[in-house]
A = this chain, B = another copy of it.
Amino acid sequence: MSKQHHHSYFASTTADVDAHLKQSITIKPPLSVHEAMYNFIFSTPPNLAPSLCVAACELVGGHQDQAMAAASALRVIHAAIFTHDHLPLTGRPNPTSPEAATHNSYNPNIQLLLPDAIVPFGFELLANSDDLTHNKSDRILRVIVEFTRTFGSRGTIDAQYHEKLASRFDVDSHEAKTVGWGHYPSLKKEGAMHACAAACGAILGEAHEEEVEKLRTFGLYVGMIQGYANRFIMSSTEEKKEADRIIEELTNLARQELKYFDGRNLEPFSTFLFRL
């Protein structure tokens, strides 16, 4: 399998999700709200979570369409988190990241308020995907609960708070590492998001519980790998080495989880371990 092939699964599912989202977001007055929301969402660099959600759904025998609302909601909520992570007002890491150039071209009040509009929009996508003819409301409600736990006080917000504490210190300092730079946010932020993505894809694909939990754990490792890769990209050689060691270990653990699905089409899954 070529590297090209792996990249295309990510690229094609991301394109499908964006196409689905563009149909769902209508730009209407007030433009100052809706146009900015549109720009924030589509200028946020996509992460692996929506693709992973689709792949998990397909792995357990579901169709891509069954996961599309959840994958879109993941893209949208990631954009909300990205926006709040790059507020120029705060002392967060990389507030001037070139990736956030579009976001930072808006005034800080818009950057502050809009994620509060984007998150409910994510839940709207999920709840609206209910289809009375298919008796799937219970699965959608379960996915909504998974999302609220992942992105609320027990998940993202707690991780952002730890990052916020850590950002008071120099990235390489002992204090920064103690209060949570690195492991904890990688676990609670990227880890939790990708675990949620894989579990929800499986739930929507009508997986049984063991499949859901295997995929959740796989997603957790994938997300943590992303978290380590993002955080230690600028670190000193020694720290980079340590991060590489952890990433290798997490990759092995992730592969273990996939063994459960031996015999099924695991091709798309190499995307999530190969991209590093």
A92 and B125 CA atoms in complex are apart in Å by: 30
**With contacts A161-B32, A164-B113 known, is A124 near B152, CB below 8 A?**
yes
Copies in the complex: 2
A128 and B124 CA atoms in complex are apart in Å by: 16
Residues of chain B with a CB closer than 8 A to A127's CB: 141-142, 144-145, 148
Residues of chain B with a CB closer than 8 A to A124's CB: 144-145, 148-149, 152
**With contacts A132-B138, A153-B121 known, is A113 near B148, CB below 8 A?**
no
Within 8 A of B (CB), among A126-178: 126-128, 130, 132, 137-138, 140-142, 144-145, 147-149, 151-153, 156-158, 160-162, 164
Query: For A84, A127, A153, which residue has the most chain B Cβ atoms within 10 angstroms?
Result: A153
Give the A interface residue count (CB, 8 A).
Answer: 48
Q: Is A105 an interface residue (CB 8 A)?
A: no
Contact with B along A110-131 (1 / 0, CB 8 A): 1011111111110110111010
B113 contacts A116, CB within 8 Å? Answer: no
Q: Is A98 an interface residue (CB 8 A)?
A: no
Binding site for B on A (CB under 8 A): 30, 32-34, 37, 80, 84, 89-90, 109-110, 112-121, 123-124, 126-128, 130, 132, 137-138, 140-142, 144-145, 147-149, 151-153, 156-158, 160-162, 164
Beyond A30-B161, A116-B119, A119-B119, 11 additional contacts (C-beta under 8 Å) are A30-B158, A89-B89, A90-B112, A112-B112, A113-B160, A116-B151, A117-B153, A118-B152, A123-B123, A127-B141, A137-B138
